[in-house]
C-alpha cells in the first residue's frame, strides 16, 4: 500500500506530544505561523497513535480478502465489481495523497469513522479506504458512477452524512439514514408503536423526532370519564429512557426530540421540563424539545393579546381530524368562538418570554415556523413537525393500528437522507459544478433506495414513495474568509443568494435526470412541481433578479467559471420537469454538519465560526484547538469577528438568502453574548420570522468560563 507521510518544513520540538503541538495553534494571534503546529500534531497523531495499531497488508487483494473473510466488509458490496475495477478505484483513491489539514480532522476520522477490529485495538482503514467503500456502495456496481462519486468525496466537494460515511460497506453496521420523524396519534396503540419503533431506529444509529401535538392534554377525558388523561409528559419520560437505552453498538448515542404546537394546553408543562430547577418527576435531561409556532401566535403577541390553548381532544371531535392537520392560524377565531372546544388562555408575550428564558438555560426549544413552512410546501399534505436539527420539513400522514400494534392502515412517516456540499470546493469545481451536484444527488438517492427500514413500516412507506433527500452545504464562512469577504457584508448576502440559486437549479436538473431512470416520485402529479407553480419565483420574475448585484461576486463567479442559470434555462428545465417529473419529493436541506465539517476541516454549515481557533472538549484528550479553514495571516481578520460578536442578525440575513432556494429548511443556530436579554432573543425570533426563515435550531449564549467551546451538546445522530 502506498501510504505517504506529509512533510512539514518548519522547526519544532520533535519530542513534543501531538496534544502539545495542537495546543500551539491557540497562539495564532501572536504567532501567525503557529497553526502549522496543528498539521504536525495530525502527522504525529497518525504516526504515534494510529500506525502502530494499524494492520498493514502485503497487497490490496490480501486486504480485501481478509476484511471480507473476517466479516468486516459486506461481500455483496464488494462483489458488485470485478477485482480489476476494485484495484482501479483503490489506486484512484490513494492517488489524491490525502492528508488531514487539521489534528481535529484526523482525530475525528480515526475515533469515529475508520473501521476498527471488534476489540477496538486494531485500525483497518485510513481515509481513502473509507471513501473507497462509500464509492462502492453508492456506485451500486456501476464503475463510472463509483469513480465519479469517489472523485467528489476525495476532492472534498461532497461529503456523505455520518451514518452513510460510517456504515457504507460494513457488514456489522447501522443504517445509512441520518434521522427519522414519526407522528403520533391520540391513542395508546399509536403511542406504543412510536416508542417501540424509536427503540429500533435508535439501535440502528438514527436520531428520532416524535410529534406529540396530537396527544390529548392533561385532564382530558378518556372514554368520556373526565380528568383521566395524563398529557404529554409521561410519554416524554418513556421516550427519554428509550433513547438512553438504545444506541448503535456504543458508537453513536441514541438521540430523540419531541415537537409540540404552542397552542396545545400542555405547552407550559412541556417547556417546564427543561427548567434547571424542574422537579425530577418531570425533568427532561437528554430529550430535545421543539415547538411549532403559527403566524397567529406572532400576531397575538404583537397586539399584546391572550392566546388560546385549545383542547386537542375537543378539536379532534369537532373537526374529525388530528390537531396537527388543522391550520391554527386559519381556524383560530372559529375555534375560539366554538363552545364545544374547551380553551385556556395565557398571554402570547408570556409564552415568548418563557421560550427565551429556556434558551438562556438550555438552548432549547427548537422553533419551527409552521405557516412559513407550509406556505412554501409544494405538496398537498401538511408539514407538522421537523427533525432533531430542524432542517427537515416534509409532510406526513397518520397510521392506524390494531390492538396488537400491527398496522391497520400504514401512513407515511419521514427519514432524512443527508449529505453536504463544501462551498469552497464546489466553487473550485468550476465548469464541473453541475456534474458534482448530480453525483451528490445520485449518492443520496442511492441511500434512499438501499436502506432497510422494515422495522418502521410507515417510514419505509414514506421513503419508498418519496425518495426524499436533503442536500446541504457547509464551509460558507471558510469561503468568505478565503476570498476576503466579511460575513456581515452585502457581498456575503449576494454570494449566498447566487450560490444557492445555482445549487437549486443543478439539484432539480439532477433529480429530473434520475426521473428518466426511475420515474417520478409517487404523487408528483399532485404537487406544485407538476403545475410549475413552485418555480414561478424563477420564471415569472424579472430576469435580473438572480444575477450578482456586487462587482466582487460577479468577478468571483467569472473567476471560478461557475455557470449561473438564466431565466430561459429555468423555463426549459421546468418544461422537462413537468414532462418527466423528478425522482425525489424533496431535494435540499441544510443540516448543522457538526461532525463532517470537523472531519473535512471546514467551517460548519452556513454558520460563522466562534473564533479563528475554536476550543473543543473531546473526552480523555481534553481541549483540542481547531484552526479555521485555511487560517493564515490573510484570512485571520475575516474570522476574528466570530458568531457571538456578529450576533443573530447577520446569521438570519444569510440564512434568509439561502432559504429562498432551499425547498426544506436550514438548521440555524443563533449566538448571543452574556449581555443579551430575553427581549433581545424575542426580537431575534421576530426578525427571523419576518425574514422568511423556516426554523431556529439552538440558541447559544456565550459563557466566558467555557472560552470558545460549545455551550450545549449537539445531537451527534443528526448533525451529520
Give the active site residues: 387, 389, 391
Query: What sign for the dihedral angle of Cα 291, 295, 298, 300?
Result: negative
* Cβ pair 209, 287 in contact under 8 A: no
520, 589, 437, 453: CA torsion to nearest 10: -60
Interatomic CA distance for residues 34 and 627, integer angstroms: 10
Query: For 498-526, b where at least 16 C-beta lie within 10 A, e where not — what string?
Result: bbbbbbbbbbbbbbbbbbeeeebbebbee
Interatomic CA distance for residues 343 and 335, integer angstroms: 9
Interatomic CA distance for residues 466 and 443, integer angstroms: 16
Q: Is 10 exposed, middle or buried (0-12, 13-18, 19+ CB in 10 A)?
A: exposed
Structural element, H or E, at residue 332: helix 328-337
Q: Is 123 exposed, middle or buried (0-12, 13-18, 19+ CB in 10 A)?
A: buried
- DSSP one-letter code for 259: E
Interatomic CA distance for residues 243 and 287, integer angstroms: 8
Query: What sign for the dihedral angle of Cα 686, 688, 691, 697?
Result: negative
Interatomic CA distance for residues 115 and 123, integer angstroms: 6
Interatomic CA distance for residues 428 and 319, integer angstroms: 54
Give Cβ neighbours of residue 531 (< 8 Å, ≥ 6 apart): 578
Interatomic CA distance for residues 581 and 566, integer angstroms: 21
Query: For 678-689, b where at least 16 C-beta lie within 10 A, e where not — what string?
Result: beebbebbebbb
Give Cβ neighbours of residue 52 (< 8 Å, ≥ 6 apart): none
Query: What sign for the dihedral angle of Cα 209, 720, 103, 32?
Result: negative
Amino acid at each position: 500500500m502506498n501510504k505517504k507521510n506529509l512533510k512539514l518544513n518548519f522547526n519544532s520540538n520533535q519530542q513534543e506530544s501531538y496534544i502539545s503541538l495542537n495546543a500551539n495553534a491557540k497562539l495564532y494571534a501572536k504567532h501567525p505561523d503557529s497553526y502549522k503546529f496543528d498539521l504536525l500534531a495530525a502527522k504525529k497523531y497518525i504516526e504515534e497513535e494510529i500506525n502502530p495499531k494499524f494492520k498493514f497488508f502485503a497487497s490490496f487483494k490480501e486486504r480485501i480478502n481478509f476484511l471480507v473473510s473476517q466479516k468486516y466488509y459486506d461481500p455483496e458490496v464488494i462483489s458488485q465489481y470485478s477485482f480489476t475495477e476494485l484495484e482501479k478505484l483503490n489506486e484512484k483513491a490513494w492517488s489524491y495523497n490525502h492528508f488531514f489539514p487539521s489534528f481535529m480532522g484526523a482525530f475525528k476520522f480515526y475515533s469515529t469513522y475508520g473501521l476498527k477490529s471488534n476489540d477496538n485495538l486494531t485500525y483497518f482503514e485510513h481515509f481513502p479506504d473509507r471513501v473507497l467503500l462509500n464509492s462502492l456502495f453508492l456506485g451500486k456496481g456501476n464503475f463510472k458512477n463509483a469513480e465519479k462519486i469517489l472523485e467528489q468525496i476525495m476532492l472534498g466537494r461532497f461529503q456523505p452524512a455520518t451514518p452513510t460515511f460510517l456504515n457504507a460497506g460494513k457488514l456489522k453496521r447501522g443504517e445509512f439514514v441520518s434521522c427519522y420523524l414519526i407522528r403520533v396519534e391520540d391513542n395508546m396503540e399509536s403511542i406504543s408503536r412510536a416508542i417501540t419503533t424509536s427503540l429500533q431506529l435508535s439501535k440502528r444509529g438514527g436520531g428520532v423526532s416524535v410529534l406529540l401535538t396530537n396527544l390529548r392534554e392533561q385532564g382530558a377525558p378518556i372514554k368520556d370519564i373526565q380528568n383521566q388523561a395524563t398529557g404529554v409528559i409521561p410519554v416524554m419520560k418513556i421516550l427519554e429512557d428509550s433513547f438512553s437505552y438504545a444506541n448503535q453498538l456504543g458508537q453513536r448515542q441514541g438521540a430523540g426530540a419531541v415537537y409540540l404546537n404552542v397552542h396545545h394546553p400542555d405547552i407550559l408543562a412541556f417547556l417546564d421540563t427543561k427548567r434547571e430547577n424542574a422537579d425530577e418527576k418531570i425533568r427532561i435531561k437528554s430529550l430535545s424539545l421543539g415547538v411549532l409556532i403559527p403566524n397567529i401566535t406572532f400576531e397575538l403577541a404583537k397586539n399584546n393579546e391572550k392566546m388560546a390553548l385549545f383542547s386537542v381532544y375537543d378539536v379532534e371531535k369537532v373537526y374529525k381530524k388530528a390537531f396537527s392537520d388543522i391550520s391554527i392560524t386559519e381556524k383560530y377565531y372559529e375555534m375560539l368562538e366554538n363552545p364545544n372546544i374547551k380553551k385556556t388562555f395565557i398571554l402570547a408575550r408570556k409564552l415568548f418570554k418563557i421560550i427565551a428564558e429556556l434558551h438562556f438555560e438550555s438552548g432549547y426549544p427548537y422553533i419551527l415556523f409552521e405557516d412559513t413552512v407550509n406556505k412554501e410546501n409544494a405538496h398537498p399534505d401538511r408539514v407538522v413537525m421537523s427533525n432533531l436539527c430542524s432542517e427537515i420539513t416534509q409532510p406526513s400522514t397518520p397510521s392506524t393500528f390494531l390492538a396488537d400494534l400491527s398496522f391497520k392502515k400504514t401512513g407515511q412517516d419521514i427519514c432524512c437522507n443527508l449529505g453536504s456540499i463544501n462551498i469552497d470546493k464546489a466553487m473550485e469545481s468550476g465548469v464541473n459544478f453541475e456534474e458534482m451536484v448530480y453525483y451528490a444527488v445520485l449518492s443520496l438517492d442511492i441511500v434512499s433506495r438501499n436502506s432497510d427500514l422494515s422495522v418502521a413500516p410507515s417510514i419505509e412507506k414514506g421513503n419508498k414513495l418519496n425518495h426524499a433527500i436533503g442536500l446541504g452545504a457547509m464551509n460558507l464562512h471558510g469561503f468568505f474568509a478565503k476570498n476576503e469577504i466579511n460575513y456581515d457584508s452585502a457581498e456575503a448576502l449576494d454570494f449566498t443568494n447566487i450560490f444557492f440559486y445555482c445549487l437549486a437549479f443543478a439539484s432539480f436538473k439532477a433529480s429530473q435526470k434520475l426521473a428518466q431512470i426511475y420515474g417520478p416520485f409517487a404523487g408528483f402529479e399532485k404537487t406544485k412541481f407538476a403545475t410549475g407553480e413552485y418555480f414561478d419565483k424563477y420564471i415569472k420574475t424579472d430576469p435580473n433578479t438572480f444575477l450578482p448585484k456586487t462587482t466582487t461576486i460577479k468577478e468571483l463567479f467569472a473567476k471560478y467559471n461557475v455557470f449561473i442559470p438564466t431565466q430561459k434555462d429555468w423555463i426549459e428545465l421546468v418544461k422537462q420537469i413537468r414532462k418527466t417529473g423528478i425522482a425525489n419529493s424533496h431535494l435540499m436541506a441544510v443540516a448543522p454538519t457538526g461532525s463532517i465539517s470537523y472531519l473535512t476541516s471546514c467551517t460548519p454549515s452556513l454558520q460563522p465560526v466562534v473564533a479563528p481557533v475554536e476550543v473543543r472538549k473531546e473526552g480523555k484528550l481534553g481541549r483540542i484547538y481547531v484552526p479555521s479553514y485555511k487560517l493564515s495571516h490573510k484570512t485571520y481578520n475575516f474570522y476574528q469577528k466570530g458568531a457571538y460578536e456578529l450576533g443573530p442578525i447577520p446569521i438570519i440575513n444569510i440564512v434568509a438568502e439561502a432559504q429562498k432556494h432551499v425547498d426544506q429548511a436550514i438548521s440555524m443556530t443563533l449566538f448571543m453574548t452574556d449581555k443579551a436579554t430575553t427581549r433581545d432573543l424575542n426580537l431575534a425570533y421576530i426578525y427571523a420570522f419576518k425574514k422568511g426563515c423556516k426554523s431556529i435550531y439552538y440558541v447559544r449564549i456565550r459563557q466566558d468560563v467555557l472560552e470558545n467551546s460549545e455551550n450545549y451538546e449537539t445531537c451527534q445522530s443528526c448533525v451529520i
